[in-house]
Structure 1
Amino acid sequence: MPGPPGAGAGPAGGAPPRPPPTLLEFHSPHGVALLLFEVSALRRFLLRTYAMVPGGREDVTGVVERGLSALFGGV
């Protein structure tokens, strides 16, 4: 049975489905930042941060706020 008008002949390909991205939501007095990450990229990032700062030794007072402000340029 022929395909719809305009359909090409020959093999069709596809790609395996990708896992959905992970959404991180950051809130500050200046607004909200929504960041999408591929799961594997987020996992690699977290493993590197855990290697640099042992669990329970975090001191993030103001660090996240300053980082987000720098990232978004005061938007």
Structure 2
Amino acid sequence: MSPVIEEAVQARLVASTPQVEIVPATLHYDREDPFTVRMAFPPPATLEGTEVTWEFSRELLATGITEPAGAGDVRVRPFGYGRTVMEFHAPEGTAMVHLRTAELRRFLERVHGLVPAGREHLYLDLDHDLTELLRDAC
């Protein structure tokens, strides 16, 4: 099985106008960084006109589909039937997107199949990470 999982999802971008815009986004999980999920938004969906990627814990995503989770830059909570809201807080403002909970559950099932919850530490290469951290210290 590949050590990387990617899943394309449709995010409904919630704006201050009544119009809701659907933008593509990609969820990304790499077994070599077992605690982290990345969500990338393409250039047309961002203020900067460049791809923007947010990183957050897979535990935050798993918790947030059933109950409100997060107190920092990324917050996740259930929203009505079959939807999950993700909020991304930055100095420029807050972006809020609605996602299908079924898509998030499917992604998390694949992630947990690759690295079971509670076993993430077994996939860390601490020797390599420590070497990289100390490489420029001498």
Question: Could you tell me the TM-score, scaled by structure 2's length?
Answer: 0.23
TM-score, normalised on structure 1? 0.37
If each structure's strand is expressed as a fraction of its own residues, which one has the higher value? 2
Q: Which is greater in Rg? A: 1
Structure that is richer in helix per residue: 1
